Every structure is written in structure tokens, then in C-alpha cells.
């Protein structure tokens, strides 16, 4: 799963609710959370900046999408996230 598709879906849903008069403010606040404070480098080499470390997330989190390749889902990244990540596909 890449990050662009889900981001677009949530932004379009928020915009549609606002335009329909069902929301006066954005329906979703999207946060880019990473393991550390470094840019998030995608498999294609694109770097995403502007995120924050996952331990600094604005809470509560309503919906969490975990975007990662198989090589990133090893035990070193799951350390300390047992309450955050419910499972893997």
C-alpha cells in the first residue's frame, strides 16, 4: 500500500463533507508519523518530510494506517509499539 491513495481518499471525504455543509471544519486531521525524526524514504526513493515521531502523535487517533514494506516490518520497528499496531497483513 502506498501513502498517496489513502491520503487522497481522506482529503476528498473531508472536502465533500465540508462542501455539503455537514462539517464546518475538516473531518480528518492527517498526521505523518515515522519511527524517528528523519524524512520517510519510500521504496522508490521519494523522501517525505514534515512528519513527526510516532510517540509525539496528536491523540486520540481515530484511524491508523500503517504504510510499510515487508522489510520494514521486522521486530526492531515493533519494539515499543505493541499497543499501537494490532496486526500485520
Per-residue pLDDT tens digits for 21-62: 999 888 888 888 888 888 888 777 888 888 888 889 887 888
Global pTM reads 0.61
Number of Cβ within 10 Å of residue 55's Cβ equals 11
The reported pLDDT for the residue numbered 87 is 44
Q: How many residues does the chain have?
A: 89
CA–CA gap between residue 84 and residue 19 (Å, rounded): 33
Nearest CA among 76, 72, 64 for reference residue 33:
64
Amino acid at each position: 500500500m502506498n501513502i498517496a491513495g489513502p491520503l487522497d481518499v481522506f482529503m476528498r471525504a473531508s472536502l465533500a463533507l465540508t462542501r455539503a455543509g455537514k462539517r464546518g471544519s475538516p473531518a480528518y486531521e492527517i498526521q505523518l508519523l515515522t519511527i524517528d525524526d528523519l524524512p520517510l524514504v519510500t521504496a522508490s526513493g521519494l523522501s517525505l518530510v514534515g512528519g513527526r515521531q510516532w510517540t509525539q502523535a496528536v491523540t486520540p487517533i481515530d484511524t491508523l494506517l500503517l504504510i510499510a514494506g515487508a522489510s520494514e516490518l521486522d521486530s526492531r520497528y515493533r519494539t515499543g509499539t505493541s499497543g499501537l499496531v494490532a496486526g500485520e497483513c
